[in-house]
Each structure stands twice: as C-alpha cells, then as structure tokens.
C-alpha cells in the first residue's frame, strides 16, 4: 500500500480506504481471504498433528477469546452467511472460498452504501465526502464534463 501511496503522491499517513479508486480491495479483505485459505489447508492437511492442533484451537475458542480460531470467528461477524461459516469452523470442515469471498464483498459494499445517499455538506464526514467525490465520479455533473 505504501508504494501505491507514493505513486499517487499522497502522505504515508493517508488512510488505506482513501485509495480504493485504484481498484484495490482493502487489506482486511485480502487478509481474511488468506486466513480462510490457511484454515482450509489445515483442515485438509496430511499431517495429523496439524489437524489435532486445529481441533484443539477450535475447542479452546469457546473458552478463550485470544486464540486463532476465536479471531477468525469474530472476523466473520456481519457476513450474511456468518452462521454457516462459523458452523463449518466449529466442525473443522473446509469453507467454500468462493461463497465466502462473495459474502465478504457484499459486506464491504454494504458498508459504503450507507454513504451513497448522504451529501457531504449535510454531514461532516470524510468518508461521505470521499465516497461522493471519488467513488462516483461519473455521477457528479461537474466532473463528467472534464475531458480526459
């Protein structure tokens, strides 16, 4: 992300969500997808030790909030099919990555949809202003006339 910020000539302290018009998915999206890939690899591992460790960690998640599987389960909150994904984790079954990614994208889009109807002058919000000016450039009449 730092390289992208330097190419765009913005400060390194600029929020990551501010460069989404470059077509990149947020870091959290890629992180959670990678975590599910790792989880799936552990469930299908040839190593009985790796599978036993995964089972033990999942059992520990019911009593402790500071274990790996507990963090995965809490990251799934807010997904439309979170109950299904959480059930698969608790049963140590692989998660359908395609279905998971679609649900993750829907959660991301739902977050930004809340800023679609808010005009930046009505509410003093950086996210609202950014969404109106950068995410919907073609819908802004004063920007649509600019020759590119």
> Considering only CA atoms, which of 18, 29, 116 is closest in space to residue 79?
29
Q: How high is the mean pLDDT of the chain?
A: 78
User: Is residue 7 a part of any domain in this protein?
Assistant: yes
pLDDT, position 143 = 41
Q: How would residue 112 be classed by pLDDT, with cut points 50, 70 and 90?
A: low
Residue 119 contacts by C-beta under 8 Å, 6 or more apart in sequence?
128, 132
- Checking if the pLDDT of 1 tops 80, the result is no
Residue 20 lies in a domain: yes
Asked if residue 116 is part of any domain, the answer here is no
Q: Is residue 142 part of a domain?
A: no
The domain containing residue 8 runs over which residues?
Answer: 2-102+123-137
Residue 123 DSSP code: S
Structure tokens, 3: 């390289």
Q: CA of 41: how far to CAs of 20, 37, 91, 128, in Å?
A: 30, 6, 15, 39
Q: What DSSP element (H or E) covers 50? A: helix 48-60
**Scanning the structure block, which residue is given the tokens 């600019």?**
146
pLDDT at 70: 92
The pLDDT tens digits for 25-75 are 666 778 889 999 999 999 999 999 999 999 999 999 989 888 999 999 998
pLDDT at 126 over 80: no
Does residue 115 fall inside a structural domain?
A: no
If one counts the domains in the chain, the total is 1
* Beta strand segments in the chain, E: none
On whether residue 113 sits in a domain, the answer given is: no
Does 111 fall in a domain? no
Q: Return the higher-pLDDT residue of 19 and 41.
A: 41
For the stretch 68-95, pLDDT in tens is 999 999 989 888 999 999 999 999 999 9
Percent of the chain with pLDDT over 90: 39
Distances in Å between the Cα of 137 and the Cα atoms of 47, 60, 132, 145, 148 are 51, 48, 8, 11, 13
61 domain residue, yes or no: yes
Q: At what angle do helices 82-90 and 97-113 cross, to 10 degrees?
A: 140
């Amino acid at each position: 992300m730092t390289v992208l910020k330097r190419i765009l000539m913005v400060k390194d302290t600029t929020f990551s969500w501010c460069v989404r018009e470059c077509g990149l998915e947020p870091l959290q999206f890629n992180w959670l997808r990678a975590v599910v890939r790792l989880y799936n690899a552990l469930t299908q591992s040839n190593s009985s030790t790796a599978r036993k460790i995964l089972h033990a960690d999942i059992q520990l998640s019911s009593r402790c909030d500071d274990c790996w599987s507990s963090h995965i389960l809490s990251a799934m909150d807010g997904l439309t099919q979170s109950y299904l994904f959480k059930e698969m984790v608790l049963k140590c079954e692989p998660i359908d990555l395609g279905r998971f990614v679609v649900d993750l994208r829907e959660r991301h889009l739902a977050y930004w949809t809340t800023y679609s109807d808010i005009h930046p002058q009505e509410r003093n919000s950086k996210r609202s202003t950014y969404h109106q000016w950068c995410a919907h450039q073609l819908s802004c009449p004063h920007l649509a006339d600019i020759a590119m």
